[in-house]
Amino acid sequence: MKAVILDAVSLGPDIDLAPIRQRVDTLEVHDQSSREQAAERLAEAEVAIVNKVVLDAETLEALPALRLICVLATGTNNIDMAAAKRLGITVKNVSGYGTASVAQHTLMLMLALATRLPLYQRDVAGGRWNENPFFCLMDHTILQLEGKRLVLVGQGELGSKVARLAQAFGMLVDFAARPGNEAHDRRPGLCDLAPEADVISLHCPLTEATRHLVDARLLATLKPSTLLVNCARGGIIDEDAALEALRQGQLGGLGVDVLPEEPPRQGHPLIDALDEPLNLIVTPHNAWITPEARQRIVTLTADNLRHWQEG
């Protein structure tokens, strides 16, 4: 059996591919592949292993030997799933590999925003501490998390992990109803919970129901001190509206690990705003990248290969 990894660079150079190699006769590894290169490189492969390379209907139709696609991620939006089904190609993804890593990153953003770290670091770098007549700077009010209310959107493995970590800080945790299903969900909707939230953290997929879930209208209902964290998908927040709320003092802090287009080749207003004195953090979609999480992707992909072979 021949397998081809199309974009191994997405796993990083420090990851051991041995669990996958042990499941196939031949493993061909490419750091990156364009859509056009994918068709050529998969010509004789039974298994395609891919993270973000697009495998559209035209590409899949040109690959009669292909029987399995292993996605090195949870999302499968880069695969034409309907075409794969029509052609009898099995698609398997991985999930839960980065729970500890993303939850840790979420708490990092929450803590950094609560302590106004971006603002105080700016002050120190600008020499304001050196010139201060008092021994410490107290210009930016810090939010003590103990006793504060955290509202989470998404009660899966990741959201539940974040909840447990937040409770260790003494936070009170509420889960919002699944967006778009509020009428059939016993949990309150986000719009009902938002006015009392001290922190809102998003851990849901990007769907039609969640696109711009946090928009100007919802932002207007928040307390001015509320912190907003998005480690889910870009576009769940209306980033322009959130930035304006932050600038106007209608939002206490904003931390995002995701943007609607990644990488942001044309830039993004949130990146531009990092030069402003705002309680704002933008990280480059790296919440998931601990070595443990990336190695777990390989292990889970090898498991997917084994289950497919046995089935």
The verdict on whether 61 is a catalytic residue reads no
Task: Check 21, 67, 187, 285 and give the catalytic one.
Answer: 285
Token pair listed for 183: 């009428």
Q: Which of 58, 261, 262, 292 is catalytic?
A: 262
DSSP state of 285: S
The pTM of the full predicted model, rounded to 2 decimals, is: 0.92
d(CA 190, CA 179): 8
184 classed as catalytic: no
> DSSP label at 102?
H
Output the tens digit of pLDDT for each of the chain's 311 residues: 999 999 999 999 999 999 999 999 999 999 999 989 999 999 999 999 999 999 999 999 999 999 999 999 988 989 999 999 999 999 999 999 999 999 999 999 999 999 999 999 999 999 999 999 999 999 999 999 999 999 999 999 999 999 999 999 999 999 999 999 999 999 999 999 999 999 999 999 999 999 999 999 999 999 999 999 999 999 999 999 999 999 999 999 999 999 999 999 999 999 999 999 999 999 999 999 999 999 999 999 999 999 999 98
Q: What is the pLDDT of residue 35?
A: 87
- The pLDDT score that the predictor gives to residue 311 is 86
Q: Is 26 left (phi over 0), alpha (psi -120 to 50) or beta?
A: beta
**Amino acid present at 122:** R
Among 203, 233, 294, 296, the active-site one is 233
| Cβ–Cβ under 8 Å, residues 38 and 6 | yes
Contact 291, 11 (CB under 8 A): no
Does the active-site annotation cover 262? Answer: yes
Q: Are 286 and 280 contacting, i.e. CB atoms less than 8 angstroms apart?
A: no
